[in-house]
Amino acid sequence: MYSYLDILYTILSSYQKFLFYDASVSILKDRDFAHIVSFYKLYISYFIESLKDIENIDNACISASKMEFVEETCSDILQHYCKQSHIISDKSREDIVNVLKESALIKKDNIKEVIYTSKDLINVIMCFNKAYSTLRNYSRAEIASLLTEFHNALSHLITAVVLKDKKNNSEMNEIAERNIDRAKSHFKRGTKDSYKIIIKAVYKLYEQYKSRNKYINMPEDFVKNFIEVRCREIIYLSNTAHHDNIQSSLKTVADKLISNFHLDKNIDFNEELYKTLTEYIISTGTR
């Protein structure tokens, strides 16, 4: 039997290798988001599941078959990425693994320590997943700019996990904490941007309906509330103490739109919202 900690270790250590591969390939070619999506789905799925009983994250409760599935999936993603890139040869992979061995590899105990010492990290990741999943539900496509936030967040998270190994080195621990904060910042930025894209797309569709003399109720004071949130976001751009409140306000505005237009039931509106989001994604190059 295995634990959720074993699974998180497998995913994060695989992603650490992917970061090194991507650092080389993305300079010479466009970033391949398909593989980030694969890791995202795997990571989010098991991370959320592991949070159900975080105090016992290292208890043996995972079957060998489940563990084998995660290991094989991680291996397949990396192998497929290397094959697709036409840049990462077997020799290059060996060189990268050797670099990792010489620098620092992830350790299970460090993952546990980072999770336990930064409890709000869990909430931040959960909020990102909820926001991105909501947007993904309507766009039916992955959003490259938001996956970049996930990718960058994991880069900092993995750095923090590696540096936590230097338990008696206060300087290394301080750098690790800064990386945890940066990881949270990327997740939070992705969360806010997800809600802003939803708001922008729904309002654009509302305007289109109005121009065709189709009546749709817009939530009372929607524009006023949204402007207030955006102004606060600019005012407190460098004041992180207000960022959580701004994120919550954006979520409230987006949730009101979703509820007001019955997005989960209105099939016709959903189809038009999908088209509007597709146009937005293509026009901004975020797919």
Q: How far apart are CA 124 and CA 111, in angstroms?
A: 16
- What tokens appear for 6 in the block? 């074993």
pLDDT tens, residue order, the chain (287 aa)? 888 889 889 999 999 888 888 877 777 677 778 889 999 988 888 877 777 666 777 777 888 999 999 999 999 998 888 777 666 666 666 776 666 666 677 888 888 888 877 778 888 998 999 999 888 888 888 888 899 999 999 999 999 998 876 566 778 888 888 999 999 999 999 999 999 888 888 888 777 776 665 656 666 677 777 778 778 777 877 667 777 888 888 888 888 777 766 655 666 666 777 777 777 665 554 54
Alpha-carbon span 197 to 145, nearest angstrom = 11
Distance CA 202, CA 196 (A): 10
3-class secondary-structure state, position 36: helix
